[in-house]
Chain A
Amino acid sequence: MHVGLNLIFLVPGETGGMEVAARETIPALVAAAPSGTRFTAFVNRDAGPGPWDELIEKVVVPVRVANRLEWVRGEQQLLPRLAMAAGVDLVHSLASTAPAWGRFTRVVTVHDLIYRHLPGAHHGMRSLAMRVLVPLAVRRSDRVIVDSEATKRDLVELLGTPAARIDVVPLGIGASQHADPLPERDVRARFRLGDRSVLLSLSAKREHKNLGALLEALAALRSRPVLILAGYPTPHERELRLRARALGVADDVRWPGWLTPPELEGLWRLTSAFVFPSLYEGFGLPVLEAMARGVPVACSNASSLPEVAGDAALMFDPRDPRSIATALERLLLGGPEIEALKAAGVARAALFTWQRTAGATLASYGRALADDRSAHRRTPAA
């Protein structure tokens, strides 16, 4: 089997979660694939270094991804030709969009349908492109891989994709390389934490991450910890800051923006709890990141989070600040129940490995090849 990996979306440092998933999945795929499997990566001109350089063959699609139109042309027009020239049997597109034609079996991974749920998440051209390209990719692919049952449900309900054509393949977590943590004293000084207990939340400041409700919950707590809202700033952050001021919790919130890995690791060490009030997730890796480090988690019971968190987190209704506050109080209080939760979290996180992701992805390839009737047509009669 010769597999082409469509990595044309890669822009160093811009594609976030999808890039992490690609970086971690590729080595695991290569390791898990039966002998005789060949992998070829299709990348754009700007892609930085990665496993696609060392482990597998690489074909550069001559486009710059920063230009959206070029990117679409690269994926829809150039990639299929290059893939056919390379003789691949199957093209797996790892980031929600995929070529719509070509004499090869097609598999696409759709991480989320966020553009349908929250129209504000992407803007202008990007939003339009997603609205057209994702449904096209899903319709024209032989199999669709999603990270969670929740996303599968979305595909079935919103795009009318037959459930039998979708494979749920949970992501892993990259516990392999943690940075050296910054010493606790430095972390406390840098973020002006004093000796207060700390509550951490990691998410982009977007509306669907529901940080407003978290601020309200914080205001309702009797003894307030310091809440650290890490994640890159967006226009929405200004609104949140005003909200915090109005609620009288401005002094209890820190907005550190983008964190360096040692800072983040230092914060993980000293935080009492992790909270994730998001209204919509395709998967929810931060929850597992916290669990892997033995940090107790409270998270929303929306979309994919219940399936990722399992029994190892306190769940709350994200639309109800009181429900969030109750969960936080229980976490901060500690005790045997919370210790058990931490242990359950560590075990839970250990379930999600990239090896498993790779194994399930390969199985999906197998089904795609079996399903793809055009593949039989292509094969000359034996």
Chain B
Amino acid sequence: MCLAHQRDRVGDVLEDVLHYDRVERRVGKRQRLIDIPEDHVATRLGGSRHRVRRAIDAGVAGKVLGQPRSPATDIEQFRVGGKVARHVAEVPRLRVPVEIAHEGGYRTICPLPVPEHVALNALFLAPGVSGGPETYLRGLAPALAAGFPMLRLTIVTTGSGAAFLRELGFSDFAQLHALRCEEGQRARRLLAEQVLLPRAARSAGAQLIHSLASTAPRYPRLPAVITLHDVTFLRIRTFGAMTTFGMRTVIAAPARHADVLLSGSAAARDEVCERLGLDPTRFLVVPHGHGRTITAEPVPEAELRSRYRLEGVRVVLCVAAKRPHKNQAVLVRAAAQLEADIVVVLVGQAEPYDATLRTIANELGVEDRIRFVEPVGDGELEGLWRLADCFAFPTLGEGFGIPLLEAMDHGLAVACSDLPVLHEVGGDLPVFFDPHEPDDAARAIRLALSDKARAAMGPAHAALFTWERAAQGTYSAYERALVAA
């Protein structure tokens, strides 16, 4: 059977799946079970329960939904790729939908083209500094490897990134491919991403390139999946004019040509679409998981309290790079209104905005109520999560907001900006405030500090967002990209 035909068939089924109500669920590592309404399935052809069972045993067809009611007649016929498969052994090679009659209707068991080797574009990686996308990589890649053992991963990254990932044990499940560039070396990075990455991916034998942090090669020469986190930098000035223009270019053009776009939230997708003029239907929204699996031992509370002069105070924690759109300024201003035993701890990479924050603190005379903490090791960060009394997240724009879930997972009540994306991720659990109003932020922080019930509800909410699920969603994006390409 020729490849073109195979694709058409898969395409047809996908067409159905996308346009009609259906029940869909993954039944194995490589298969999904798709129920298509009866009238969309045309023919009944000969087959036997036994053969389907063998197909299942061969690891092709997966399990049939529910318990067969009458074992003898339940699954009467099946067909593969439009014709009867004489030998079920053909099925793995064909990789086309299998239709089976079941419980009076038809079900299609549809093995899509199987993603077997994906190159992950992690050229953004500057260990410890790259924030959200780094968390994304560290959550998603191991979950993909664990959930889909047949999927080979090649991670293309910076020199320091490769060393860092090797240290984290990523080489156990992925091939690490370092390109000679670092985040910050703009020309080299551009060259690496635009030219060397597609070449490396092809020569490694990857079927598609998944770019994890919005920027991607314009001519990938392979099917392309891009995760577009957010385009907040277009709304709130984060970079210089040239950088902004450049960023826009390296994000918008590849996105227009990518096969599948991923986004962590519907809110971020809508903003990206509006700003870059993209079609929302090209997106899959795949919520991220929460947090990293903590391997480091948390630094003891007493040690941290003495290190950061936090003895006998209540701690409001904020974990975010010090950038204008993270808007820590409102917390500094709110600190002036909070009770004297409340200290705001700002953890995150110090960028130029850090100086602005210090100036504001000095003007208001609240320097001693704020602690500026540079990016810290995993153990120290974990220790800070554990000793904090509440979490504050005054951001002005976010693609997803993983820190929100990390806080909830640590049993902290959250006070955060009243943004659609944070409503989407946090549900009704956070105390929302207007990020431009210090008074409102102070009110929200006070409530979050005292609201033990919200805090107690956090872990169960955060548990709804797992990297396992994110990996499943991402994998289906790969399948879709292979079909679309």
A residues apposed to B, CB below 8 Å = 148-149, 168-170, 306-308, 310-311, 347, 350-352, 356, 359-360, 362-363
C-alpha spacing A112/B133, complex, angstroms: 45
Partner of B453, one of A308, A362, A363: A308
Residues in B with CB closer than 8 Å to A360 are: 456-457, 459-460
Partner of A356, one of B450, B451, B455, B461: B461
* Cβ B456 vs Cβ A168 within 8 A: yes
Closest to B457 in A: A356
C-alpha spacing A306/B461, complex, angstroms: 22
C-alpha spacing A345/B274, complex, angstroms: 36
C-alpha spacing A351/B432, complex, angstroms: 14
B389-417: contact bitstring with A at CB < 8 Å (1 yes, 0 no)?
A: 00000000000000000000000000000
How many Å from the CB of A312 to the closest CB on chain B?
Answer: 10
Near A by CB (< 8 A), chain B positions 421-465 give 428-429, 447, 450-457, 459-461, 463-464
Closest to A347 in B: B428
* Cβ B453 vs Cβ A311 within 8 A: no
* Cβ B457 vs Cβ A363 within 8 A: no
* Cβ A363 vs Cβ B460 within 8 A: yes
Apart from A168-B455, A170-B456, A356-B461, list 5 A-B contacts with CB within 8 A.
A307-B451, A351-B457, A360-B459, A363-B460, A363-B463
Residues in B with CB closer than 8 Å to A306 are: 450
Residues in B with CB closer than 8 Å to A308 are: 453
Instruction: List 13 A-B pairs, Cβ < 8 Å.
Output: A149-B453, A149-B456, A168-B455, A307-B450, A308-B453, A310-B453, A310-B454, A347-B428, A351-B453, A351-B454, A351-B457, A359-B464, A360-B456
Partner of A148, one of B453, B461, B464: B453
| Known contacts A310-B447, A311-B447, A359-B463; A148 and B457 CB within 8 A of each other | no
* Cβ A359 vs Cβ B453 within 8 A: no
Partner of B428, one of A168, A169, A311, A350: A350
C-alpha spacing A288/B452, complex, angstroms: 15
* Cβ B428 vs Cβ A352 within 8 A: no
C-alpha spacing A21/B428, complex, angstroms: 22
| Known contacts A310-B447, A311-B447, A350-B428; A363 and B459 CB within 8 A of each other | yes
Residues in B with CB closer than 8 Å to A307 are: 450-453
C-alpha spacing A196/B288, complex, angstroms: 55
* Cβ A170 vs Cβ B447 within 8 A: no
Closest to A360 in B: B460
Closest to A362 in B: B460
C-alpha spacing A350/B464, complex, angstroms: 18
Residues in A with CB closer than 8 Å to B453 are: 148-149, 170, 307-308, 310, 351-352
C-alpha spacing A356/B461, complex, angstroms: 8
How many Å from the CB of A161 to the closest CB on chain B?
Answer: 17
| 4 A-B pairs closest in CB distance | A359-B460, A149-B452, A168-B456, A307-B452
How many Å from the CB of B445 to the closest CB on chain A?
Answer: 12
C-alpha spacing A169/B456, complex, angstroms: 6
C-alpha spacing A26/B112, complex, angstroms: 39
Residue of A347, A352, A356, A362 ringed by the most chain B CB atoms within 10 A: A356
Residue of B447, B451, B454 ringed by the most chain A CB atoms within 10 A: B451
C-alpha spacing A311/B413, complex, angstroms: 14
* Cβ B429 vs Cβ A351 within 8 A: yes
Residues in B with CB closer than 8 Å to A170 are: 453, 456-457
How many Å from the CB of B152 to the closest CB on chain A?
Answer: 28
Residues in A with CB closer than 8 Å to B455 are: 149, 168
How many Å from the CB of B314 to the closest CB on chain A?
Answer: 15
Residues in A with CB closer than 8 Å to B459 are: 360, 363
How many Å from the CB of B240 to the closest CB on chain A?
Answer: 42
C-alpha spacing A351/B447, complex, angstroms: 14
C-alpha spacing A356/B428, complex, angstroms: 12
Partner of A310, one of B451, B456, B464: B451
Residues in A with CB closer than 8 Å to B447 are: 310-311
Residues in B with CB closer than 8 Å to A359 are: 460-461, 463-464
C-alpha spacing A351/B460, complex, angstroms: 13
Residues in B with CB closer than 8 Å to A350 are: 428
Residues in B with CB closer than 8 Å to A352 are: 453
How many Å from the CB of B338 to the closest CB on chain A?
Answer: 15
How many Å from the CB of B161 to the closest CB on chain A?
Answer: 33
How many Å from the CB of B466 to the closest CB on chain A?
Answer: 11
Residues in B with CB closer than 8 Å to A169 are: 456
Residues in B with CB closer than 8 Å to A351 are: 428-429, 453-454, 457
